[in-house]
A and B are shown apart, each in its own frame.
Chain A
Amino acid sequence: MRPATTNVKTLKIDGRDLSGRQEETILEVARQNGIFIPRLCEMEGLTDVGACRMCLVEIKGQNRLLPACVTAVEEGMEVTTDSERLQNYRRMILELLFTERNHVCSVCVSNGHCEMQMLAQRLGITHVHFPYRYPKEEVDASHDRFVIDHNRCILCTRCVRVCDEIEGAHTWDITGRGIDAQVITDLNEPWGSSETCTGCGKCVHVCPTGALFEKGRSVAEMLKRRQFLPYLTMMREENE
């Protein structure tokens, strides 16, 4: 049980009167109450980094849009999670993500199960208004059981965080900056020769796209299991 002194904040999200604990984010409180806010980098059980900007929301009295996954709830806050302005921003962010690497859904292992594809459909994106970059990214299939296809990576860093925070291996990290940024394993070695990877597969299952997948999966066959994460976190908290 939480101590009775827990500070509770009351706020409005999309006109509904809600409450959350002071350390909770807008995204968490919205989720508990069945209000959908799009997200790509955020994931229950991992630290929040605010990397993708999909979760931008409007807050009354503030001109700036704020990322719901890293903004704590405040007393009297009035949040809007959906508006034309927000839809436009979200669409633009997604379109830019699609142009940055090579997302060819029709041949992707995650076709039909991809978080990015799902958000695009939800926002009614049928085509992209920016030129595609068509970079030549590598595919590393050196691991016994898993593959990373950098062409589909959106640099959300979920793999980096789950491997560090939950598995404790810290096999992944990000190299470079800006358009040159990439996820790497160890000292930028083939994943298969990594000394730190335990082969647990957590990174594969939290990856929102088809960038990380299991060997032997063909188009649309890569179903990701996410349930383990809240479960693991809950069990650990109980043991503390």
Chain B
Amino acid sequence: MITLTSLPLAEADQEFLDKVIAQRGGRPGALLGILGKAQDHQPRKFLPRETLEYIAAKTDTPLARIFSVVTFYALFNLEPQGKNTICICRGTACHTRGSRELLESLMFKLGFHDPDDEMADKISLNTNDGKYTIRTVACFGQCALAPVVEVNHEVYGHMNEQTLQRELEHLGRETAKK
């Protein structure tokens, strides 16, 4: 069951949302754009409960409708996202070239042990320290480079465990510096 994260809206955030809603409000399909902007604006790239409630009230959208929309589209996050996002392709090409093993070892290294998670067709997991988010996609459209892994929006083809391990160490150092 999906639960929402609570995070009170600061005044500046309210002003930001007011502006976005004033620009787009009323037009058909506006809700998606408003929610997208709200998520981009949030430093941890997610939609807290208070944000959803505020948007619902200001756009006169039923709460249930908002919840339906943010759980239908995979692009919306309801949990704070990690500082680094590692996205493993679970498409057919990448699967046959070992993406399951990559995913398993990555999840193991970052402390996720639930086999149910590995079996899920779409994964979005966040480490408790807020450093990492693991995701899966159905295909990056780069099958010739399988297995494909995206690290902080950079695409790595022909990924193997050693390279992934090196990337992880690199990210660990960079994140510690910040």
Contacts and interface: CB of A to CB of B under 8 A. Distances in A.
A172 B63 CA distance: 9
Contacts of A184: 64, 67-68
Q: Which bucket holds chain A's interface residue count?
A: 10 to 19
A175 B63 contact: no
Interface in A146-192: 160, 164, 169-177, 184-188
A17 interface: no
A184 B65 CA distance: 10
A177 B53 CA distance: 22
Q: Chain B interface secondary structure, helix, strand, loop or mixed?
A: helix
Given A187-B53, A188-B2, A175 B67 contact: yes
Q: Chain A interface secondary structure, helix, strand, loop or mixed?
A: loop
B26 interface: no
Contacts of A176: 71-72
Contacts, number: 48
A138 B62 contact: no
Interface residues of B, number: 16
Interface in B111-160: none
Contacts of A173: 62, 64-65, 67-68
Interface string B51-79: 01100000000111111100110000000
Given A174-B68, A177-B72, A187-B52, A138 B1 contact: yes
Contacts of A169: 62
A186 B72 contact: no
Given A175-B2, A187-B53, A188-B1, A170 B68 contact: no
Interface of B: 1-4, 49, 52-53, 62-68, 71-72
28 contacts: A169-B62, A170-B65, A171-B62, A171-B64, A172-B64, A173-B62, A173-B64, A173-B67, A174-B68, A175-B2, A175-B67, A176-B71, A176-B72, A177-B72, A184-B64, A184-B67, A184-B68, A185-B64, A186-B64, A187-B4, A187-B49, A187-B63, A187-B66, A188-B1, A188-B2, A188-B4, A188-B67, A196-B62
Interface of A: 138, 160, 164, 169-177, 184-188, 195-196
Given A170-B64, A173-B68, 4 more contacts: A138-B1, A187-B66, A188-B4, A188-B67
